[in-house]
Amino acid sequence: MCLLNVGVYPKLVNEGSFFTQSGEYRVDEAATPAMKNSIMYKMSYYRFAELFGGAAPQDRVRGTKLPSEGPKLTHLEEAYTTENWIVRIFKVKDLDNLGRDLASATAFEEGKGKKRKSRSKKSRSRRRNASD
- pLDDT tens-place string over residues 42-99: 999 999 998 898 899 999 888 899 988 889 998 999 999 999 888 999 999 988 888 8
Per-residue burial over 32-51, b if 16 or more Cβ lie within 10 Å, else e, is beebbebeebbeebbebbee
Strand ranges in the chain using DSSP code E only, listed in sequence order = 58-59, 64-65, 76-81, 88-92
- pTM here is 0.68
CA separation for the pair 37, 70 (Å, rounded): 11
Q: Where are the domains of the chain?
A: 3-72
